[in-house]
Structure 1
């Protein structure tokens, strides 16, 4: 009996402790996110007041590189990836200088036309502030890691206005196919508190409940499954385009400052050839896609290219907003091409690309409910999981750790970082569908 009372007492104290700490993190992150988003909005408004503001992109990349390289190298690239790396390799230890450096570098990049997102910096700023709090409280590595994960959840929840999806994202994004249940409660608390703090400070969020969703039918359900495969292939392509431009950047044996100038100049040229549509956050295009407007067919591919150049040639920002752009525009195209409702498939595509590219099908499915309403939930969930599987063993976050194999027919080592998985061997099983097909093909060839 004493042991049961002791167990209950320890759990009670632990719950009180983490609810309090998570609420503190949520409040801090909610405040910092509100400041960041307001400053970013002011920067975008000031810059876009000039018709050819994007001509300053080479200078933007140059400034971003200088600020990051000399003040906080950990702030390089898209923020969430660096936080995942810090959690896995340094128990969540993050240089405090990352917070102001990431804020300034991201505002410069996005305001002057760099194609990047706002969620990565918020996650990195939130995690950085959480790491500082953990150091002040002299936490051990385990507790610091939990607090930093709360920072990720709160950052994601406050930037998109999705507290539940944000909380799940923080515990899902670290491992492919694994959830950290011991951080679930504090992540929920941090996400919810952060969302309400930022809302009370005047941050408004996008919510677009779908007014019409088709009644369930086997024919429509099959179309949703096909869309999941399509979005998975788009996720696959986006990751490979990012990787391709990263390799190009590495092969250029010149100083990083010159790379920034080259990358910015290329984006200026591409903008004159195509459109300013693919610069910055691209929120107007996302909105147009969700409203069912006809968009250029190659919009999603061009956004991949603009984003890959930005993030690999000195720009600073996140990756999720571009993922939303690619998902919404590719879904819009899918709907128009097959004569379906482009609004529904733009919404499904938006969350399915997140599920595939970031390997977060659960948080993406929940986000569909928070952004578009419960009616689309069953279809979005199915498309998200299919997209997640179709993307394979790759990710926009190379530091993610593989916790499951996406098929028992693959020979891939669990526990590896995604960036370390170069080749995936196919291991045919006698009684599997693929194994039976392979045997049939061999017999056919012999005949």
Structure 2
């Protein structure tokens, strides 16, 4: 074996060297060669420094504007919630709330429909990040109506969409010719909106980059996105917005039994993310197929929300008391995560305006608290935080940003636990996302065959790979046998489905 190793080393040493840039000619004087290399190095570094200053300027301007707009939105939202508590006779106005939100968007800016971040991702991939500026006032007003009136949605999606629209307007103002530069600036707008809402500038930059592709990160955008995030965050803080401290106190020691339990908990978070994504698609399809106009659909959604409000008004709006209670280790109703999930999918399907991340936080935290109620009563806050991070990673396919978010919100002590839950949830949710325009860049499993390079919402059910292993191959053969049995059945007036995966 030592002889074979020595032979291999000798072979490697005798191979042609890799391309390592221009080499010094044997006949060229060393002084001339060194001058040429120094000149090229100076030019290269000069261009990189120019690029650095360019994106510093653009990102700071974007962050300042988006931070100011986000502060205005958050200020009006808190003022409206203080003046309009969701109790008593006000919950019976929910049909009117959703109707008004839908009418505002349909009349003045159809581009503002949806839960914010999804429209921005679609714009980046399909229109080079172009978004009309009229999205800003319409999305802001429609979201305020929805959240203050009791619709179950989030506050980050509108800020991301408003930030992207402002960044797109700046790209027009700066006369950006290169579509790539426009996309970079729009991503800066997304990161600035996320950071300003949650007070997490690092996670905001990472989320804006990671959410565009499933399995791919554009490192070139990292610096301007981070600068925009920090700028927006500092603007909000300087203007007086106070972010809550959520430092985690219930952090157990790292042990192998606990790691095993976290893997299982991450699997459950992935299944919950699967349920959330499929529920969003199902409810949206159900409402779109109703043979009535959009105003009646919005009214029907409001009636359904009244039914949920009669159970408890805590499931309306942002539901922040539920979130804070779960993170503080307080007990929450065992079915709270399911009821909040139902309220969210109804709100968004019926035409309510708002984001999806804040409901994800609430649903995940309540799910973690419910899990702890049965299996770890002394760690309710710990599992509530991990449920929030795990559901975020699975539902949005952003495990890295989710783990960093855990560190920024709860402290570095939670990092290894959050990373374990986030990565497992990301794997288990499969090829689905709350953002259908997210582009699939990798395959999560060698056992499943999916086409990469397209929007994740356009992917049909993945096919099994018979070469991937004995168990997947067995499942594949059973699937093929079942299809052959169906094709042999006598014709009952229905044509058998074609074998799409063969």
The TM-score, its normalising length taken from structure 1, stands at 0.96
Distance 1:426 1:8, change over 3 A: same
* Aligned with residue 267 of structure 2, among 212, 229, 234: 229
Which residue matches 1:388?
426
Residue 445 of structure 1: aligned partner: none
Q: Deviations over 1:183-231 (max 9, x none)?
A: 0000000001110110111111123111231111111111111110011
Q: Give the C-alpha shift of residue 75 in structure 1.
A: 0.4
Match of 2:58 among 11, 15, 21: 21
Q: Please name the residue that 1:271 is paired with.
A: 309
Is contact 2:204-2:229 (8 Å) kept? yes
Q: Which has the larger radius of gyration?
A: 2
Query: What does 1:370-389 align with in structure 2 at a 5 Å threshold?
Result: 370-389=408-427
**Structure 1 Cα separation of the partners of residues 457 and 197 of structure 2:** 27
Matches within 5 A, 1:174-193: 174-193=212-231
SS at match of 1:52: helix
CA offset digits 1:103-154 (Å, max 9, x no partner): 0000000001000000000000111100001011111211111100000001
Unmatched runs of 5 consecutive residues or more in structure 1: 443-447
Q: Which residue number corresponds to residue 149 of structure 1?
A: 187
Shift of residue 49, structure 1, vs aligned partner: 6.8
Q: Give 2:133's aligned residue.
A: 96
**Using the alignment, how far apart are the partners of 1:171 and 1:433 within structure 2?**
37
Call closer, same or farther: CA 1:218–1:440 in 2, change over 3 Å: farther
Is 1:165 equivalent to 2:221 in the alignment? no
Residue 331 of structure 1 contacts residue 347 of structure 1 at CA under 8 Å; is this kept in 2?
Answer: yes
Look up the match of 2:257: 219
Q: SS in structure 1 opposite 2:67?
A: helix
The equivalent residue for 2:451 is 413
Instruction: Give the corresponding residue for 1:240.
Output: 278
Q: Distance in 1 between matches of 2:312 and 2:324?
A: 17
Query: How far has the Cα of 1:419 moved from its partner?
Result: 1.1
CA deviation string 1:311-338 (max 9, x = no partner): 1111000000000011100001111111
Q: 2:23 corresponds to which residue?
A: none
State the alpha-carbon separation in 2 of the partners of residues 375 and 40 from structure 1. Answer: 33
* Alignment-derived partner of residue 34 in structure 2: none
Deviation at 1:18, TM superposition (A): 0.2
Q: Is the 8 A contact 2:465 2:473 kept in 1?
A: no
Aligned length: 440
Deviations 1:268-322 (A, max 9, x none): 12211x1111100011000011112221111111111100010111100000000
Q: Secondary structure of 2:175's partner?
A: coil
Higher relative contact order (CA 8 A, sep 6+): 1
Structure 2, unaligned stretches of length 5 or more? 1-36, 480-502
Q: CA RMSD in A?
A: 1.6
Aligned equivalent of 2:405, options 342, 355, 367: 367
The residue that corresponds to 1:333 in the other structure is 370
2-structure distance, mates of 1:392, 1:43 = 39
Cα pair distance change 1:360/1:339, threshold 3 Å = same
TM-score of the superposed pair, with normalisation by structure 2: 0.85
Contact 1:118 / 1:317 at 8 angstroms: preserved in 2? Answer: yes
Cα distance in 2 for partners of 1:439, 1:400 equals 28
Rounded to whole Å, the distance in 1 between the matches of 2:330 and 2:439 is: 39
Aligned counterpart, 1:112:
149
Structure 1 residues 75-94: aligned runs within 5 Å: 75-94=112-131
Q: Output one character per residue of 1:356-399: Cα deviation in whole Å (capped at 9) or x when no partner.
A: 00111000000000011111100100100000111110000011
Q: 1:439 to 1:241 in 2, by over 3 A?
A: closer
Alpha-carbon distance in structure 2 between the residues aligned to 1:165 and 1:29: 17
> Post-superposition, which runs of at least 4 consecutive aligned residues in structure 1 deviate over 6 A?
439-442
